[in-house]
Chain A
Amino acid sequence: GQNIDQPTEMTATEGAIVQINCTYQTSGFNGLFWYQQHAGEAPTFLSYNVLDGLEEKGRFSSFLSRSKGYSYLLLKELQMKDSASYLCAVRALYNQGGKLIFGQGTELSVKP
């Protein structure tokens, strides 16, 4: 089966750092994605991890531990515009269609 868990909502202060965790239990694994989604809009790609370790891209970093079924998205120097929903998604193996299975999303509110 497929199970992806992330907190429903988080609140942080402008200029601070926030870490959004994601744990997964899937029958196959071929990479983990993080997406940002503002209300009423389509998701936009943030990061991709397929090997263990940290991937850094500007103010955003993402970490993966395959043995623990765990990932986190780290947002630094938070800005008000970072208020959005952050979706963790696991990609199935190609022989399973390579489809993305999304977590419920974490609604992040950045306050002044």
Chain B
Amino acid sequence: GAVVSQHPSWVICKSGTSVKIECRSLDFQATTMFWYRQFPKQSLMLMATSNEGSKATYEQGVEKDKFLINHASLTLSTLTVTSAHPEDSSFYICSAREMDWGNHEKLFFGSGTQLSVL
């Protein structure tokens, strides 16, 4: 099956620094990728939809300047948490959309990134 690679798996950083998370579709082209965050014992909250070659669409309440998304190629989307603060500590997960020849859609998730901001 299709594979989505996300790294790093975990990162610890100091408050005020920026952290970049990469999401790659390894064996398919993904024109659309989604970024989620998840707090402990809570469900996934959609942050933004990343479209290749265009600006990301952010959900209400998500700061565009805080969470920078770049989808420069059909296999790579990046999420940069700028000037991270402790409240940004969370589990971040990406998912990539694959369309097959029958125009059926499948979604595949990366393994997630645990961000801890000190």
Contact = CB atoms under 8 A, between A and B. Distances in A.
Interface of A: 33, 40-45, 87, 97-105, 107
A25 B34 CA distance: 22
B42 A104 contact: yes
A101 B46 contact: yes
Contacts of B41: 107
Interface of B is mostly: strand
Chain B: number of interface residues, binned into ranges: 20 to 34
Interface stretch (B14-22, B66-74, B80-88, B106-114): B106-114
Given A99-B34, A99-B49, A87 B112 contact: no
B43 A40 contact: no
22 contacts: A33-B107, A40-B91, A41-B111, A41-B112, A42-B111, A42-B112, A43-B109, A45-B107, A45-B108, A87-B44, A97-B49, A98-B97, A99-B49, A100-B34, A100-B46, A100-B107, A101-B46, A102-B36, A102-B45, A104-B42, A105-B42, A107-B41
Interface of A is mostly: loop
Contacts of B110: 42
Interface of B: 6, 32, 34, 36, 41-46, 49, 57, 91, 93, 95, 97, 105-112, 114
Nearest to A44: B109
A99 B44 contact: no
Given A99-B46, A100-B95, 19 more contacts: A33-B107, A40-B114, A41-B111, A41-B112, A42-B93, A42-B112, A43-B44, A45-B106, A45-B108, A97-B57, A98-B32, A99-B49, A100-B34, A100-B107, A102-B44, A102-B45, A102-B46, A105-B42, A105-B43
Nearest to B6: A42
